[in-house]
Chain A
Amino acid sequence: MTPAAALPPFQRLVTEHAGAVTGFLRGMVGVDDAEDCAQETFIAALRAYDGFDGRHPRAWLLAIARRKALDLRRAGARRPEPVGGVESLPAPELADRLDPGIWGEVAGLPEKQRAALLLRYGLDLRYREIGSVLGCSEAAARRSAHEGITKLRAERAEEVA
Chain B
Amino acid sequence: MAVGDSQLDGEARETIRAGTDPGPEITDRLGAALARRAEKEGLVEVAYAEIDSPIGTLLAATTERGLIRVGWESSDHEDILEGLARAVGPRVLEAPSRLDPLKRELDEYFDGDRRRFEVPLDWSLTSGFVRDVLTETARIPFGETRTYAEVAAAAGSPRAFRAAGSALGANPIPVVVPCHRVLRKGGALGGYGGGLPVKRKLLEVEGVAA
Contacts and interface: CB of A to CB of B under 8 A. Distances in A.
B119 interface: no
Task: Name B's interface SS.
Answer: helix
Interface stretch (A20-28, A63-71, A78-86): A20-28
B210 interface: no
Contact of A22 (B12, B22, B81, B85): B22
B-side interface size class: 35 or more
B37 A8 contact: no
A122 B19 contact: yes
Interface size class of chain A, counting residues whose CB lies under 8 Å from the partner chain: 35 or more
9 contacts: A7-B85, A9-B81, A9-B82, A15-B31, A26-B19, A27-B19, A39-B30, A43-B37, A49-B90
Interface in A99-150: 99-100, 102-103, 106, 117-118, 120-123, 142-143, 146, 149-150
A42 B30 contact: yes
Contacts of B31: 11, 14-15, 18
Contact of B92 (A11, A34, A143, A149): A11
Nearest to B7: A149
A102 B11 contact: yes
Nearest to B17: A122
Interface in A37-76: 38-39, 42-43, 46-47, 49-50
Nearest to A17: B27
Interface in B84-130: 84-86, 89-94
B33 interface: yes
Given A19-B26, A26-B22, A152 B38 contact: no
- List 6 tightest A-B contacts by C-beta distance, closest first: A122-B20, A9-B92, A23-B20, A7-B90, A22-B22, A102-B15
Contact of B29 (A23, A31, A35, A103): A35
Given A24-B20, A38-B30, A39-B30, A121 B93 contact: no
Contacts of A4: 89-90
A103 B37 contact: no
B55 interface: no
A48 B21 CA distance: 27
A94 interface: yes
Contact of A39 (B9, B16, B33): B33
A98 interface: yes
A65 to B, nearest CB: 12
